[in-house]
Amino acid sequence: MNKMTVRDVEVEGRRILVRVDFNVPLDEKTGEISDDTRIRAALPTIRHLIEREAKIILMSHLGRPKGKVVEGLKLAPVAQRLSQILERAVGMAPDCIGPEVERMVANLRNGDLLLLENLRFHAEEEAGDASFAQALARLGEVFVNDAFGAAHRAHASISVITNYLPAVAGLLMEREIENLAGLLENPAHPFAALLGGAKISDKISLLENIMGKVDLLLIGGGMAATFLKAKGYEVGLSLIEEEMLDTVNKLMSQAQQAKTHLILPVDVLVADELTEQARTEVVPVENIPPDRRIVDMGPQTLGSFSQELRRCKTIFWNGPVGIFEIPQFARGTRELAQLLAHLEAKTVLGGGSTAEVVNEMRLTDKMSFVSTGGGASLEFLSGEKLPGVEALLEKR
Residues 329-346: tens digit of each pLDDT:
999 999 999 999 999 999
Residue among 199, 213, 313, 366 flagged as catalytic: 199
Interval 312-322: pLDDT, tens = 999 999 999 99
Is residue 293 part of the annotated active site? The answer reads no
In the prediction, which pLDDT does 28 show? 81
Residue among 63, 182, 303, 375 flagged as catalytic: 375
Q: Is the pTM of this model over 0.85?
A: yes
DSSP 283: E
d(CA 370, CA 90): 27
Q: What is the mean pLDDT of residues 115-138?
A: 98
Residue among 222, 322, 352, 388 flagged as catalytic: 352
User: Under 8 Å CB-to-CB from 236, ≥6 apart: which residues?
Assistant: 270, 288, 289, 290, 291, 292, 293, 294
Residue among 3, 15, 38, 203 flagged as catalytic: 38
CATH of domain 187-381: 3.40.50.1260
Is residue 292 part of the annotated active site? The answer reads no
CA distances from 362 to 113, 296, 337 (A): 29, 22, 10
Is residue 38 part of the annotated active site? The answer reads yes
Is residue 250 part of the annotated active site? The answer reads no
Q: Which residues pair with 282 in a beta bridge?
A: 269
For the chain, the structural domain boundaries read: 6-173, 187-381
The residue among 216 and 212 whose pLDDT is bigger is 216
CATH of domain 6-173: 3.40.50.1260
Interval 251-306: pLDDT, tens = 999 999 999 999 999 999 999 999 999 999 999 999 999 999 999 999 999 999 99
